[in-house]
């Protein structure tokens, strides 16, 4: 698909210089077609020769752009950083088989990092929708996933082991979008009939719905993150993950997501998040036996790579110091 569109980003220029955090052409894009569609990704390699692959997976309503602030410092720390748009999102193509479930994304990522780029091991990092994908990868490909960095993500519920933890359910008042996108995706997509309407809908998740810490996203940042969803095809495809919760036919395979006793996992939590479980940190500590943390991030909500980039970079680098030789 080439470079991302710059339409609608004139306001991001000051004195003719674009703020790099909201520059859609900041990084070179690459593509893979091994899985039958065009998977677009950023691939920035470190020059220090460690060869440690770090796969960063976005969630919803996001694209690879949510990692714009952390790619360069992670490369400088010694990682080979791989940041894709999941199938149907951003600059990637639509799923040829129509599936947008977690196992499909997981298999896409293995194909990209292992088969195309040639890595035998990978560190995986993600939150929101990307969280279940990296959890699935860790159990589906245990010899491939070396360790995980997880933040503000859905988790498998373990009634017995989570007994006594308060706040294990997402806020009820935040569930309306989830139900609508999962049960009436076509109707919602039809209602959002123009690029402006689609972008306004997505913008609410960066502002009025309080997923982020108040004041995090100014207008140019909102414009930057909503632009990919101006596409009717992208918006509709992005609802696919929610449909899998309500309709078993939308799933291509069973997910392996569950309790993980083997993968070292750094747990980070932006507690200003009004959509994820209030007790995410405690719950995650139960799910991942070999956990580091959990660490709570001050003045941070759902969008950890954008809201707390320094903490994400420093935590990930410290966890992987043995791999990086630092």
- What is the predicted pLDDT for the residue at 15? 42
Give the residue with greater pLDDT, 9 vs 268. Answer: 268
Average pLDDT over residues 278-284: 97
Tens of pLDDT, residue by residue over 221-252, are 999 999 999 999 999 999 999 999 999 999 99
CA nearest to 74, candidates 259, 294, 319: 319
Tens digit of pLDDT for each residue in 11-41?
333 344 579 999 999 999 999 999 999 999 9
Binning pLDDT at 50, 70 and 90, where does residue 194 land? very high
Summarised one tens digit per residue, pLDDT across range 35-48 is: 999 999 999 999 98
Give residue 172's pLDDT: 81
Q: Binning pLDDT at 50, 70 and 90, where does residue 314 land?
A: very high
pLDDT at residue 7 greater than cutoff 50:
no
Average pLDDT over residues 177-182: 96
pLDDT of residue 267: 98
Q: In the predicted model, what is the mean pLDDT of the chain?
A: 93
Q: What is the pLDDT of residue 297?
A: 98
User: Pairing state of beta strands 29-32 and 17-18?
Assistant: unpaired
Question: DSSP assignment, residue 288?
Answer: B
Q: What is the pLDDT of residue 225?
A: 98
pLDDT at 17 (0 to 100):
56
Q: Which of 45-49, 77-81, 250-254 has the lowest mean pLDDT?
A: 45-49
Give the separation between CA 19 and CA 23, rounded to whole angstroms. Answer: 6
Strands (E), 20-114: 29-32, 39-44, 52-57, 79-84
Cβ–Cβ < 8 Å for 79, 324:
yes
- Sketch the domain layout of the chain as residue ranges: 19-170+253-324
Q: In what order do the strands lie in the sheet with 145-151?
A: 29-32, 39-44, 79-84, 52-57, 122-127, 145-151, 265-269, 291-296
In angstroms, the Cα distances linking 92 to 238, 239, 258, 323 are 12, 15, 28, 30
- Answer yes or no: are the C-beta atoms of 296 and 271 closer than 8 Å: yes
Report the topology of domain 19-170+253-324. Answer: Rossmann fold (3.40.50)
Residue 103: the pLDDT is 98
**pLDDT of 126 higher than 80:** yes
Alpha-carbon span 183 to 245, nearest angstrom: 9
| Contact indicator for 316, 322 with CB cutoff of 8 Å | no
Can you tell me the mean pLDDT for 175-196?
97
Coil/strand/helix, residue 85: coil
Give the pLDDT confidence score for residue 124 in this predicted structure.
98
């Amino acid at each position: 698909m080439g470079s991302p569109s710059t339409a609608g980003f004139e306001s991001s220029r000051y004195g003719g210089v674009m703020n790099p955090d909201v520059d859609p052409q900041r990084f070179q894009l690459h593509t893979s077609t091994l899985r039958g569609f065009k998977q677009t990704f950023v691939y920035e390699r470190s020059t220090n020769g460690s060869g440690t692959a770090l796969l960063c997976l976005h969630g919803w309503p996001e694209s690879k752009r949510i990692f714009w602030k952390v790619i360069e410092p992670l490369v400088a720390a010694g990682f080979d950083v791989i940041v894709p748009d999941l199938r149907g999102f951003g600059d990637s193509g639509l799923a040829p088989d129509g599936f947008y479930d977690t196992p499909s994304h997981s298999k896409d990522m293995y194909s990209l990092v292992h088969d195309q780029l040639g890595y035998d091991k990978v560190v995986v990092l993600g939150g929101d929708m990307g969280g279940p994908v990296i959890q699935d990868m860790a159990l589906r490909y245990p010899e491939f996933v070396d360790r995980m960095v997880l933040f503000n993500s859905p988790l498998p519920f373990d009634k017995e082991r989570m007994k006594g933890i308060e706040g294990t359910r997402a806020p009820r008042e935040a569930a309306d979008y989830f139900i609508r996108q999962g049960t009436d995706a076509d109707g919602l997509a039809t209602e959002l009939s123009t690029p402006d309407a689609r972008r306004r809908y997505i913008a609410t998740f960066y502002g009025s719905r309080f997923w982020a810490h108040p004041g995090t996203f100014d207008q140019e940042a909102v414009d930057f993150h909503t632009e990919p969803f101006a596409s009717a095809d992208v918006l509709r495809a992005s609802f696919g993950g929610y449909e899998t919760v309500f309709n078993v036919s939308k799933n291509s395979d069973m997910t392996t997501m569950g309790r993980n006793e083997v993968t070292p996992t750094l747990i980070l939590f932006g507690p200003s998040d009004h959509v994820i479980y209030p007790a995410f940190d405690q719950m995650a500590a139960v799910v991942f036996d070999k956990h580091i943390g959990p660490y709570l991030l001050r003045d941070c909500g759902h969008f950890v790579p954008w809201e707390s980039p320094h903490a994400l970079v420093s935590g990930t680098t410290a966890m992987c110091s043995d791999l990086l030789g630092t």
